[in-house]
Homo-oligomer: A and B are copies of this chain.
Amino acid sequence: MERCNLTKTMDVIGGKWKSVALFYMLERPRRFNEIKRLMPSITQRMLTLQLRELERDGLITRTVFPEVPPRVEYALTKLGRTLEPILDLLCAWGERHSQQVFDKREERVA
């Protein structure tokens, strides 16, 4: 069996924050505060860091609109958009199957 390339993908979108942020950008570009609101458990500092890495890796663009106050929008690049089928499946799996896992965890605690 050939060495799996999955590690490379996880090196790019691993951790839960990046994939969730990318998921929200599938629909449309998002402002920083909007993403922050959608992900209440991430700190501002951590979100900034994650978005900066996604930008560095060429998955998203950061656009500053010269308004008062300045508007900053994050949007998927063409490369970022190639993740769409993965993000959709990850979301669908969570919806269909994760409850089974959490029920099992509950049982062990009970």
Closest to A59 in B: B101
A79 to chain B, nearest CB (A): 6
Rounded to whole angstroms, the CA-CA distance of A9 and B89 in the bound complex is 10
Q: Mark A86-110, 1 if CB is under 8 A from B, else 0.
A: 1101111111111011101100100
Known interface pairs A1-B27, A11-B16. Does A6 touch B91 (Cβ–Cβ under 8 Å)? yes
A9 to chain B, nearest CB (A): 4
A14 to chain B, nearest CB (A): 5
Q: Is A74 an interface residue (CB 8 A)?
A: no
User: B9 and A91: CB pair below 8 A?
Assistant: yes
Chain B residue numbers with a CB within 8 Å of A90 are 6, 9-10, 86
Q: Which of A36-85 contact B (CB under 8 A)?
A: 38, 56-59, 79, 82-83, 85
Rounded to whole angstroms, the CA-CA distance of A1 and B58 in the bound complex is 25
5 closest A-B pairs by beta carbon, nearest first, are A5-B94, A10-B16, A8-B94, A8-B98, A9-B94
